[in-house]
Every structure is written in C-alpha cells, then in structure tokens.
Amino acid sequence: MELKRVVVTGLGALTPIGNNIEEYWNGLVNGVSGAAPITHFDASKFKTRFACEVKNFDVRDFIDRKEARKMDKFSQYAMVASDEAINDANFDLENIDKDRVGVIWGAGIGGLETFQNECINFANGDGTPRFNPFFIPKMIADIAPGQISIKYGFRGPNFATVSACASSSNAIIDALNYIRLGYSDVMVTGGSEAAVAIAGMGGFNALQALSTRNDDPATASRPFDKDRDGFVLGEGAGALILEEYEHAIARGAKIYAEVGGGGLSADAHHITAPHPEGLGARNVMLNCLRDANMKPEDIDAINMHGTSTPLGDIAESKAILEVFGEHAYNLNINSTKSMTGHLLGAAGAIEAIASILAIKNGIVPPTINHSTSDDQIDSKLNFTFNKAQKRDVKVAMSNTFGFGGHNACVLFKKFE
C-alpha cells in the first residue's frame, strides 16, 4: 500500500533551558547549560547534588490548582507542552474530527515522585494504610496521554510507550505509523519525565550513572570529552503535532518539516550498558534509513543520544562511522544533552524538536563543555563543539537509546 505523507505542524516544549519553544531554541543556539544545584529537595547528602531542573515554573499559571493536585509533575509537564503544541498548530477545535485525532505519549518512569512520596508517608505513619485516592492515577505512565485526550476530547488511538530513554522516540514513530497507514489524521505525540526526585537521584547514583562534578555543575554534561563522568539528570516535556499531509494542506497549516521515517532495534546485550561496538545503534540507524528510503549520503545532521557516559559515547560514535563511512566526516553531529541534561523518557521528544528547528532555521546547536579529546573517539568527526554552526540542514536524524537495549531513531526532512 502507498503510505501517506506525515508532516509536523505544531511544537511545544518545557525544558531546563526554556519553558516554551522560543526560549528552548534560544537556549540551544546560545549554548546555555541547564545544570544547577537541586532545589526540588535537600540533596546535601547525595553523591550528585545537581540536575537540570525546569526553572521558574508555577503549574498554577497553566492548570487549575485543584486539577494540578491530581497530577504528578510528569503529567503536568505533559499538559503544558502539549497545550503549546496544539495552540501552535492552530486547529479549529470545534470542527476537527476528534475521532481521527489521537495521543501517543512516552514516559520512561511516569509518576516516580508520587510513588516515592506515598511510600515515605506510609513508612512514617503508624502502619495504617492511608493513601491518596489519586495515588494510582497520578503514578501510571499512560495517564499523561489520557489527560491530554480528556481535555481536548480527542478520541483516536491513545496510549503510552515505555522504553526507558527511547520512550518518546517510540511514541513519535508509532504516531507516524498510525497516520501513514491511514488510521488517524492527527497525532499529539512526545514525552515527559519528572525524575529529579529523591528516588530518581538515589537510584541513578547507585548505578554510578550520574556525573558527580558538584563543584561545577554547568560543565558536568560533557559528551565525547575525555573527562566525562556520567550524565546529568534532566526533566521536562516535548510535544509534536504530526498530521497527514493532505489534511494539513487542506486547512492551510504551517509545516515545520516532514517526518521521513523511523527505525527501531535492540542491543540484546546488557540491561544498562550499550553494545561495545554499537551494534544496536548501527542497526537502528540503518533501519531508519531503510524506512525513509534514504541513503547515508542524504543525511546532513544527527542529534546523537550522546549522554556523556564513558561507554555510550564511544559506542555511538563507532556506529556512526560504520553506517556513514567517509560521509560521517561531512555530518554535523551534536548532543543537546550537553545543555538540557538527560530527560530520560522525554529526551527523544525535545531532541526531535531540536532536529526539526535545525532544519527550519539552518543552525545546528552545539555540543557544549568540550575541552579535551578522547583518543577512543575519532576527533575528525564534527561534533559541533562549543558553538552553534550555520548549515542548510535538509535531512536530520535523532537517536535515542534506553536501558534494556532499546534503540529508536527518527528522521526528519525539509518540507518541500
């Protein structure tokens, strides 16, 4: 069957470096670090005492206080980002066929802070089971797309994707497929996460996954640098409106980019470590190129998973060299996690947005905080270190890889 074309007609973001799309993009191109000492809780006894938190955010500016209390932060973030994207898409919400509009949303963990707090409250009590009646609805990962659909009355496909740090890229790929197979006209997609909490920081510290550069948080996320020592935990949300091409044209929608394709793969190697030779990363990029019917030489830029972990950055760089060969040296590759930190299940969404805006604006955001080359990473690759670079980006890829060996890659191309 002939697949329908799918375009991006709305964007929304709530990130550690900007609370809307305009602020987020300005933060990216100016190389702003979102890392700072933790304010959400007392982290003084933790090995890592900093994170990339959402800043200057008061949920009451966006959601009624009574309703907000029924939501974990990850759902609040989802509502704010999706509202911006839906408004940006400028739908006629009174007349759109809501049976043909769905919501597919990614979250790697969901309501972690809610779960944590309910357990703490029970442990500190007298043993009587007193739990918040909204405990379960606040916690479950699928509640975010449910909340979005309830607010707008969207009755199309509605579910959550959970694949650790690949979750929102999976959501975007599923949304793409539902539209191009003809099941929906419009999809609200993306992801959110709010793991900067006692349990999140403690858990990732126990894994020895986080940077402990407490004396200089702003430079702690340093992908591909010899002195990287782990990722910086982030939080927030990103939302995209995907729309069938003819549907978008018929209503005169503005179009940011076209979604060319998506790829998925598994490392089948280890629960937390990447395949040392980047086998899963190689396969997911090849699968994405095949799905988009494109060749390696067609790609201009890649927003890498690039978490700033010792093993991951090496494996992904090897995979790019294997997939792209000599053309790898013509690419602009970068890691926006150097600025935003790692948003876990929301990473794919905000990084897809960064790729789309790189296409739209002809600018590749930098990989900041680089000072010392790692001799295990090919220094001839253009990692867009420390300063944004102008480039006519016609096609961009976005990589996300998750614990459990889950890999997802999404391809966007300039709309013509």
- Chain centroid to CA 128: 40
Look up 165 and say whether it is catalytic. yes
Set 247, 275, 288, 342: catalytic member:
342
Catalytic residue among 52, 165, 288, 409: 165
User: Which 8-state DSSP code applies to residue 8?
Assistant: E
Choosing from 305, 370, 406, 409, the catalytic residue is 305
Of 15, 61, 62, 57, nearest in space to 40 by CA: 57
Beta bridge partners of 50: 37
CA angle 410, 414, 416 (to 5 degrees): 130
Nearest to 172 by CA among 355, 392, 20, 362: 355
Q: What is the DSSP string of 297-336?
A: GG--EEE----S-HHHHHHHHHHHHHHHGGGGGGSEEE-T
Among 301, 265, 270, 297, CA closest to 281: 265
Residue pair 343/193 in contact (Cβ under 8 Å)? The answer is yes
Q: Which residues contact 228 (CB under 8 A, 6 or more apart)?
A: 211, 222, 308, 309, 310, 313, 374
User: At residue 370, what is the residue type?
Assistant: H
Q: Among this protein's residues, is 342 annotated catalytic?
A: yes
40 is catalytic: no
Partners of 231 in beta bridges? 210
Active site residues: 165, 305, 342
